[in-house]
Amino acid sequence: MDLRLSDRVAVVTGASKGMGLAITATLLSEGAKVIAVSRKSSPELDALAGPRLVHVSADLTNPEAPASAIASAVEVFGGVDILVNNAGGPPPGTSLPRFGFLTPDDADWRDMFEFNLFSAVRAIRAAIPVMLGRGGGAIVNVSSTLARQPGAMNVDYSAAKAGLNAVTKSLSEEFGPQGIRVNTVSPGPVRTDWWTKDGGAADIIAASAGIDRDAVMDSAAPEMMRLTTGRLIDPQEVADAVALLVSPRSGSTTGAEYIVDAGALKEL
């Protein structure tokens, strides 16, 4: 299927690894031009180098960074048609999961909201005038199933993502009539650096449960989260959903939440 993304200009945050890397590669394969935003590049992102890809180094917890990334897209490629707010998860220097409401303090809450909500808000604020000047655009905010099904772990993260879902709905209502579609993709547990890095979620859960880290990712975590598919999600599966939502082929889809959760959410 041709997604009709040739020469569209996309900004993807958190683009150097995991879901962001998969999203970047997918949009490039569909002919888009991509500003890939991350604190630093990666060998995998460097391997995608070419005239349609520019890496912008940015710490999105810096309030000026999101607007600077949008400005780079305008400077290099002449505008912005697509914005994917993928950056999120543990703020720099933080490891998740955190257990219990009393664990994160005020600074932890501020860091979580800066990274998972405010950075997206700032990028959107900068992108909308540019998109309006081009007659419209598409925004996808990458949220989480934890926004819908919060629990005793990662309370601050769940709250930040719930806020992002609410922002998506509000933006869709305000700017949909002006040609800007805004949607959410909510993944369940994706096999990314969040899980696999040293000291990441797999190690934290393994230490708590007294089992091997590989067993956490291969069986314990899917069982604990009641994943219907029995496995963690592949980043490409999220990237495919994002690519479809930013495509003109989804021209009547706005204000929607697209779930890629391996069957974790059971409610109607």
- How many helices (H) and strands (E) would you count in the chain? 11, 7
Nearest to 194 by CA among 53, 86, 121: 86
How many Å apart are CA 237 and CA 258, to the nearest integer? 12
CB 225 within 8 A of CB 191: no
Question: Nearest to residue 92, comparing CAs of 78, 76, 108?
Answer: 108
Catalytic machinery residues: 157
Distance CA 117, CA 163 (A): 7
DSSP result, 45-88: HHTT-BTTEEEEE--TTSTTHHHHHHHHHHHHHS--SEEEE---
Q: In the numeric block, which tokens belong to residue 4?
A: 């009709």
**Two tokens, residue 47:** 């391997």
